[in-house]
């Protein structure tokens, strides 16, 4: 099943032309249009315009051939972009670049409740960043992650020295940063991926704000391996995305509601997260801990 917006567009176009017999003139004209598209798209790629919006612009720019309004090659009829496509373009503009992040998570559930604030920065191109989470108990105690060119260090005010994790890592662990209180709703990378899913329900509520609803894949089989008494599990994200003046994601407010049934008893947890993103393109520098033990 197609799960990506770009893939759906390609699949739809293939379906539209299926079964149509092409004449020599049509084939020739298609070849000439393909050449024009190739030249324009290569120019866009060379200039760095490689996102979905850039490709769509290229198709519209060269699709008609000839002059606008000419009788032989009338301009194509282009449908208005959907909220999903507009948000996908904004997400693409926010991905694959460095950013600063602040996450405020409020958890309400049957087994845990509380509020935590995490601040940090991350550069996906160099796999470098950090997350700093105060315990929130009025003291200066904290939990911290430091990622330096793929090498991950975990530490806290209560556990020194820092522990260097084995292997290479390409992202920070937002779930660990919030002591397990938040998962998909706190990780900007996961949010970006989910907001571009074709089955996400997206509506635009203002010029710079979007509302979304996303049903998360169930981890029922994984949970049942740990506890066979679990009979059902589900989770859904509902929230809003705000864009900045440059059409990048600046704020995501999201509620993640999870429901699980075990031995006839139903438990629910609700996580209210606010993810604030800023400083796009700013260099991220992280200091290596001086006191380190290496995980084996």
Tell which residue, 154, 187, 194, has the closest CA to residue 171.
187
Task: Name the residue with higher pLDDT: 292 or 176.
Answer: 292
Residue position matching structure tokens 């506890």 = 227
Region 49-65: mean pLDDT is 37
Sorted by where each begins, the domain ranges of the chain are 5-79, 93-294
Which tens digit of pLDDT belongs to each residue from 183-222?
567 889 888 998 988 889 999 999 999 999 998 877 778 8
Pick the CATH number of 93-294 from 2.50.20, 3.40.50, 2.60.120, 1.10.287: 2.50.20
Burial class from Cβ neighbours inside 10 Å (0-12, 13-18, 19+) for residue 90 reads: buried
pTM check: above 0.85: no
Token output for 207: 């010029």
For 107-116, 237-246, 276-285, which range has the lowest pLDDT when averaged over its residues? 107-116
Region 26-30: mean pLDDT is 42
Distance from C-alpha of 22 to C-alpha of 15, rounded to nearest angstrom:
15
Tell which residue, 185, 215, 182, 216, has the closest CA to residue 109.
182
pLDDT of residue 80: 53
Q: In Å, what is the CA distance from 138 to each residue of 10, 116, 141, 142, 176?
A: 54, 12, 8, 11, 21
Task: Name the residue with higher pLDDT: 93 or 15.
Answer: 93
Burial class from Cβ neighbours inside 10 Å (0-12, 13-18, 19+) for residue 188 reads: buried
């Amino acid at each position: 099943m197609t799960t990506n917006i770009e893939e759906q567009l390609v699949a739809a176009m293939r379906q539209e032309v299926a079964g149509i017999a092409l004449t020599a003139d049509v084939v020739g004209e298609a070849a000439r249009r393909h050449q024009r598209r190739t030249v324009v798209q290569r120019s866009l790629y060379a200039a760095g315009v490689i996102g979905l919006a850039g490709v769509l612009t290229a198709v519209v720019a060269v699709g008609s051939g000839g002059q606008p309004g000419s009788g032989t090659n009338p301009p194509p009829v282009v449908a208005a972009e959907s909220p999903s496509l507009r948000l996908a373009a904004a997400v693409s503009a926010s991905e694959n670049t460095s950013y600063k992040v602040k996450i405020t998570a409020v958890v309400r559930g049957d087994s845990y409740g509380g509020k935590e604030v995490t601040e940090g920065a991350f550069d996906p191109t160099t796999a470098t960043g950090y997350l700093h989470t105060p315990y929130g108990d009025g003291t200066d105690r904290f939990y911290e992650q430091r990622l330096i060119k793929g090498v991950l260090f975990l530490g806290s005010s209560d556990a020194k020295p820092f522990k260097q994790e084995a292997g290479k890592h390409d992202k920070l662990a937002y779930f660990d940063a919030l002591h397990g209180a938040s998962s998909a709703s706190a990780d900007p990378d996961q949010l970006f991926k989910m907001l571009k899913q074709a089955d996400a329900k997206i509506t635009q509520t203002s010029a710079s704000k979007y509302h979304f609803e996303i049903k998360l894949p169930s981890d029922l089989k994984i949970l049942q391996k740990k506890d066979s008494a679990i009979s059902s599990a589900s989770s859904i994200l509902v929230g809003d995305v705000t864009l900045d003046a440059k059409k990048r994601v600046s704020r995501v407010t999201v509620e993640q509601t999870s429901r699980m049934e075990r031995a006839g008893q139903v438990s629910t947890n609700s996580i209210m997260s606010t993810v604030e993103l800023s400083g796009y393109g700013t260099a991220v520098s992280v200091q290596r801990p001086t006191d380190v033990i290496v995980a084996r």
